[in-house]
Structure formats: C-alpha cells, structure tokens
Amino acid sequence: MDWNLILRLVIAGLLGGLVGLERELRAKEAGLRTHFIVALGSALFMIISQYAFGSAQHDAARVAAQVVSGIGFIGAGVIIFQKNAVRGVTTAAGLWVVAAIGLACGAGMWEVAAATTILTVICLEAVHFVHKRYGEKFVELQADCASSEDVQAVIAVLKQNGIHVENWTLSRGRASFQIHVRQGVFIETLPRLMSSMKNPTLEQLG
C-alpha cells in the first residue's frame, strides 16, 4: 500500500472541505460534503491516470481534462434561476476550483493546491465582507394598501429613506414593491419602516 497516494487523497479532501465549509457557513447550495467529495474524486482520477496502467502507454492528461469537463454538470446543478435572478454561480465556480485543487493534490502538487485553497477562501470572505457593508439587495416588499394614494405614500417614505422603488403593483388591496436597498438600510432602516405598514412581507429577489 502506497501511503503517499492515500495522503494525497486525504489532503485533497481537507482542502476541498475547507472551501466547502465557507460555502456552508453562508448557507449556499453546495456545502462541505459536496466540495469534499469533488476534491477527493478529482484527486483519485488523477492518481488513477498516473499509476493505474503500469508501464502501458497512456496519456495522464486526458483523465484530468475529462474531470474539468465533467465538473460542469455538477456546477450547472447548483445554479438556480429564480424570479429574474441567477443564483449559485459563485458556488459553481467554487466547485470548479475545488476540482482543480483535487487534481493538483492527486499529482502531488501540495503547495499549489494549498495556495489555491487559501486564495479562494480569502476571495470569498473578502467579497462577502465588502458586499455585506456596501452591497445592494433586490427585494420584493408587500403590504396591504387600500388605494393608489396609499401606495404613493409608501413610495414617498421609502424614497425619503434612500430606497429606490423599481416597480410596484396593486391588486385586491395588496401592494407589491420591487426595491433596491443598500445592505445597511436593509438591516437597520427597512425593518423600522415595515413596522408601520399593514401585514408587511419581504422576499429577496437577487
């Protein structure tokens, strides 16, 4: 038994799981288990392509290339189109990178795999921090409104608080507002405004 090959599998799983842990903590479509298995499988494919055929002539790069193509099917599975918003693209890209990390581990390129993992996690965390502080949300706010005058009054209040109303509808006494709101306003101001509305509900669109 070649313990070096087993070590490659273990390191691939751990590095892939580290990226998956970040995704799972953010409640994304694919978490620790998915990233762990993708990295582990990629490393195993690389090891098979290098050592499973003995002295027979073979091209190890062909298996790696098929992994790169095949991971696209898994990535497509986590991309969701919901209410005019595409979600899961970053997670799909993370799976693609994790597959590359697994291939690097399978080839024995420890330093490259570890550096890629660290850079990926730093990128995801840094973007999350910036978006949390300065980003915008696209949400749908619903509340009971008896007339269009009530709707205009709500729109006026929202605009006074820096909330852009992109579109609105009124049907059977229920108004729906599609709004862009900054992260800070979403957390601090919007709940206060909703407390003065009748039966408010909020749903994130993108």
pTM of the entire predicted model: 0.66
Listed residues 110, 133, 156: the one ending a domain: 133
- Specify whether the CB–CB gap between 182 and 162 falls below 8 A: yes
| Blockwise average pLDDT, block size 10, the chain, 206 residues | 86 92 78 90 88 67 78 75 65 89 91 93 83 73 86 87 84 86 74 84 74
Same-domain check for residues 59 and 112: yes
Listed residues 81, 104, 133: the one ending a domain: 133
Same-domain check for residues 157 and 93: no
Range of the domain at 112: 3-133
Q: What is the pLDDT of residue 86?
A: 63
Same-domain check for residues 140 and 193: yes
Q: What is the pLDDT of residue 125?
A: 84
Question: From CA 46, how far away is CA 103, in angstroms rounded?
Answer: 6
Same-domain check for residues 123 and 172: no
Question: From CA 202, how far away is CA 178, in angstroms rounded?
Answer: 10
Look at the chain and report how many structural domains it folds into: 2
Listed as own residue / partner, the contacts of 161-168 with beta carbons closer than 8 Å and 24 or more positions apart are 161/185, 161/189, 161/193, 162/189, 163/189, 163/190, 163/193, 166/138
Same-domain check for residues 16 and 109: yes
Listed residues 82, 111, 133: the one ending a domain: 133
Q: Which residues pair with 204 in a beta bridge?
A: 139
